[in-house]
A = this chain, B = another copy of it.
Amino acid sequence: MQRVWSDGLAEQVGRPVRVAGWFHHLRRLSRVSFLLVRDGRGLIQVVVDEPALADRLAALERESVIEVIGHAVAEPQAPGGVEIRAPQINVIVATAVQPPVVMSGPTLRASLPTILDHAPITLRHPSRRVAFAAAAALARGFRQALDARGFVEIQTPKLVAANAEGGANVFRVDYMGREAYLAQSPQLYKQIMVGVFERVYEVGPIFRAEPHDTPRHLNECISLDAEMGFISDHREVVGLLRDVVAEMIDAAGRAGIPAVDVPSELPFIDFREALRIAGAADDEPDLAPAHELAIGAWAAREHGSDFVLVEGYPTHKRAFYTHPDPAAPERSLGFDLIFRGWEVCSGAQRLHRVEDYLAVMRERGMDPAAFEGYLEAFRHGMPPHGGFAIGLERFTTRLLGKNNLREATLFPRDLNRLAP
């Protein structure tokens, strides 16, 4: 008999079925027991009438792998509206020890560190699993939106020779006797690839050796990067970002995640205005997390929007490749997208003339020789271009209304955590 998953059981009502999964829970009542089997997609209720079978199950450890053959019957109280009756149960793998955390409740009653320490088991809990089904849907939506617009997926190296973005926050690697670094972003490569395909995207890990321990930072994350050439201005990039975000949220919606409205035009404010709204000093160089929360609250209040774009950041505080506003060069054409009070995306129009790169490198004391491959692309013709990078874990965290990136990261890497 073909195995049926929990999400296909409703179509089998009235028929014999075979299901398989993990022994999630057993509730013994005086006359009947209810077994919950968890498979990769949901829960299945099995009615156990036979006292001998209930005794056998009571002696079995939770998380044992089992198979149930029985009869599918409609039952509005059961998960998915179906339960299995008259079961025959085969134990595929009997486990010998209790799970480290009780798995049967609607949520896990354990601290986040305990949940993360035992991720191989706690990720199985339905309340944890949903974040990663959402992340998978968001990544799919990102790719579909860009595929439909003629973008080409690229895979760029994570081992790099130059500490391209500057700063000390870079991981060093012993590269067969030479020093290499882990890429902090695919930025330079995706720009080079605009010279090849004009429109490119990448989904991949980025690495930052920041010794932070905050709910918003991890040392390894997934970046959803896009970059496009022949733009007329940075607003064209913002327009693309808006549409990509809307399609990501649609894709998550098809995976069962509650929808969020994405305004057809993202509300935007100037950086100085953002500082004012956040009650920050007007010489602050960037927005702190508390400022982002204040701006998110303002956007919800003033625009009924979960999203708000901040633009016009000071040029000298943005990455060297950011294009200044030609009308006011101290103001950059860079922007950040704030989603429910967290910055989830950073983008910009970039410099595209080699002489502008050489000038900014001179100004910032950077050595052009360390960027030779990158500069070669600009020396041989690059169109006006721009792009953005969305932090997948940040986006997922806020979409699910969570407050810690670790809730949306399978195996987080931080100051204290390198395993499991």
Contacts and interface: CB of A to CB of B under 8 A. Distances in A.
B140 A189 contact: no
A169 to B, nearest CB: 10
Interface string A138-164: 011001000100101111111111100
Contact of A40 (B157, B172, B198): B198
Interface stretch (A205-213, A260-268, A336-344): A205-213
B172 A153 contact: no
Contacts of A99: 380
A41 interface: yes
Interface stretch (A82-90, A272-280, A310-318, A408-416): A408-416
A40 B220 contact: no
B205 A158 contact: yes
Contacts of A143: 140, 143
Given A157-B411, A180-B418, A193-B410, A377 B175 contact: no
Contacts of A379: 95-97
Nearest to A207: B159
Contacts of A139: 153, 155
A75 B152 CA distance: 29
A407 interface: no
Contacts of A196: 40, 123-124, 129, 132
A92 to B, nearest CB: 6
Nearest to A370: B419
Interface stretch (A47-55, A104-112, A113-121, A285-293): A113-121
Contacts of A219: 159, 175-176
Interface string A365-397: 000000011101101111110000000100000
A400 interface: no
A410 B156 contact: yes
A377 B121 contact: yes
Nearest to A124: B196
Instruction: With a 10 A CB-CB cut-off, give which of A20, A129, A419 has the most chain B CB atoms.
Output: A419
Interface residues of A, number: 95
Contact of A93 (B156, B180, B353): B353
B157 A230 contact: no
Given A158-B220, A230-B3, A39 B380 contact: no
Nearest to A352: B93
Contact of A136 (B97, B154, B180, B420): B154
A152 B124 CA distance: 13
A5 interface: yes
Nearest to A221: B155
Given A65-B381, A189-B410, A353-B93, A152 B175 contact: no
A326 B138 CA distance: 41
Interface in A324-369: 352-354
B383 A20 contact: yes
Given A136-B154, A411-B157, A120 B377 contact: yes
Nearest to A381: B63
A22 interface: yes
Given A132-B154, A143-B143, A178-B418, 19 more contacts: A5-B150, A22-B195, A22-B381, A41-B198, A92-B383, A120-B373, A120-B377, A121-B376, A121-B377, A133-B197, A136-B154, A140-B143, A156-B411, A157-B205, A157-B410, A157-B413, A158-B205, A205-B205, A373-B419
Considering the complex of A and B, which 4 residue pairs feature the smallest CB-CB distances, nearest first?
A: A373-B420, A40-B198, A120-B377, A63-B381
28 contacts: A39-B198, A40-B197, A41-B197, A41-B198, A63-B380, A92-B384, A95-B379, A120-B380, A123-B193, A123-B195, A123-B196, A133-B197, A136-B154, A139-B153, A139-B155, A156-B411, A157-B413, A158-B220, A159-B171, A159-B207, A159-B219, A171-B173, A171-B174, A172-B174, A173-B173, A173-B182, A176-B415, A372-B419
